[in-house]
Amino acid sequence: MRGRLVKLVFALTAGTLIGVGAAALVASKLDEARPPDVEGLLWPDPKIVQPFSLVDHRGEPFTLEQLKGRWSFLFFGYTNCPDVCSTILSMLDKVAEELGKEPMSNRDVQFVFVSVDPVRDTPEVLAKYVGNVNPNFIGVTGAMETLTSLTRQLGIYAQPDPPDTHGDYSVDHGTPVLLIGPAGRLLGVFQSPRGPLDVAERFRQMRRFVTG
């Protein structure tokens, strides 16, 4: 009888130790999976971007497929924007220059300017506008309903103001820069204003975490 009790106690003790060890191992793995303390990183539930169909400044289709396989910086604005759009695009040009120092960066990263004023921002207008900032930047436009659907799913505010007596108008819009990962997920948000070196470094940290 005493021998059975000893065996039972030993079995319970061993089971407890195994359970504690397993829990410690799981906790260790969870610690390893914790994201870095990077402002703007959307983890552990990055939003999956839903399909859309727009057109780029060359008149070519621009869909979700054009975002997959690369890291994409997205900024929403319009070519008649009086100040903030050109300021942020200039900042992104410097980000591109900084990241361009890294091997493979030109094929790994792209910068996309999405117009929220498709009536005036035709592909031809966008081609000239983004070309003056960086010839590698992509300008995107399309039907208003498609653009509205895209801004809503990504949480970007955009609303045209009433036109004046001459028919001129501005568009009130949000100014964050979004980071879409190669799998088509919204992984990061860079709130403006931000310096290019800060954006580039935070992007590097996000990319290292996601790609392991």
pLDDT at 107: 75
pLDDT at 194: 79
pLDDT at 38: 87
Nearest to 52 by CA among 42, 63, 37, 60: 63
% residues pLDDT > 90 (the chain) = 75
% residues pLDDT > 70 (the chain) = 81
DSSP 29-89: HHHHHSPP--TTB--S-PEEPPP-EEEETTS-EEEGGGTTTSEEEEEEE-TT-SSHHHHHH
| pLDDT for 15 beyond 70 | no
Contact 147/116 with Cβ under 8 angstroms? yes
pLDDT at 75: 98
Long-range contacts of 179-182 (CB under 8 A, 24+ apart): 179/40, 179/71, 179/72, 179/73, 179/74, 179/203, 179/206, 180/49, 180/67, 180/71, 180/72, 180/74, 181/46, 181/71, 181/210, 182/68, 182/69, 182/70, 182/71
DSSP 150-178: HHHHHT--EEEPPP-TTS---EEE--PEE
Class of domain 47-211: alpha beta
pLDDT 10s digits, 82-99 = 999 999 999 999 999 999
Domain ranges of the chain: 1-34, 47-211
The Cα 212–Cα 205 span in angstroms is 10
pLDDT 10s digits, 152-207 = 999 999 999 999 999 999 999 999 999 999 999 999 999 976 799 999 999 999 99
**Bigger pLDDT: 105 or 74?**
74
| pLDDT for 14 beyond 70 | no
